Amino acid sequence: METEVAAAAAGTEFSLVSLFFNAGLVVKIVMGILAVASVWSWGVIVDKSLLFGRLKTKSKRFEDAFWSGKPLDDLHRKLGDKIDHPMARVFDAGMTEWARTKDAGKSEALVAGAKERIDKVMNVAVARELEEAERHLGVLATIGSAAPFIGLLGTVWGIMTSFQAIAVTNDTNLAVVAPGIAEALFATALGLVAAIPAVIGYNRYSAALNSFAVKLQGFADEFSAILSRQLDERAR
């Protein structure tokens, strides 16, 4: 009897490909969803890694130019149409609004209105840039939280298949239950493979986004203070 069980178990192939093709329809759908989710999450992770790397490099380069002591008008003209990162776009929004009120007069009402407009324009620019940087992070959060439960569905279904095989054959040999249990465990593994990188990526890039948001808002506040001082000097 033991020899027959061993021979039957040896005749069952347990490679990952065979586990997928030998699985039931429901488990196949679960595995397919998890495979797509895993690829999608890695795509977002790679995209965000490249994005925040570029933001760090370009922001450092722009800050060096901004604090170099050169006139802001010259820096604005030098940027021209080559505004390819958030900090420069916030700077451009503030300088554009500053230019509109530059030659409009020197009344106190004008100064107060210009300060408010410059702050609003830059705050809108900051919010827009952060929204763009945050795009697709929600995908990682969704995959990280949902993938284990989707995998669990495949696990439960695979175990149900094993019990059905026992009921049909009236046999509890390992060769009877092994295929169903194997596909159940494979579904669990796929759920974890999809979820773990997604959770790590979400935590990492959420922290990077928060850090960049503080940096960008801090720059907007400092730049607003500089323009405010210049407006005060012109109003005297």
Closest C-alpha to 183, from 156, 163, 144: 156
The span from the CA of 151 to the CA of 154, in Å, is: 5
Angle between helices 174-235 and 108-134 (to 10 degrees): 170
User: In this predicted model, what pLDDT tens digit does every residue of 190-228 receive, in sequence order?
Assistant: 899 999 999 999 999 999 999 999 999 999 999 888 888
Amino acid letter, 168:
V
Residue 56 has pLDDT above 70, yes or no: yes
Residue 174 has pLDDT above 50, yes or no: yes
Grade residue 101 by pLDDT with cuts at 50, 70 and 90.
confident
The span from the CA of 129 to the CA of 79, in Å, is: 18
Q: Give the burial class of 152: count Cβ atoms within 10 A of its Cβ; 0-12 exposed, 13-18 middle, 19 or more buried.
A: middle
More confident residue, 114 or 77: 77
Contact present, 166 and 29 (Cβ < 8 Å): no
C-alpha to C-alpha distances, 152 to 75, 146, 148, 158, 186, nearest whole angstrom: 57, 10, 6, 10, 10
User: In this predicted model, what pLDDT tens digit does every residue of 57-69 receive, in sequence order?
Assistant: 988 888 888 888 8
Q: Where are the domains of the chain?
A: 24-235
Q: State the pLDDT at residue 21.
A: 60
The reply to whether the predicted model has a pTM over 0.85 is no
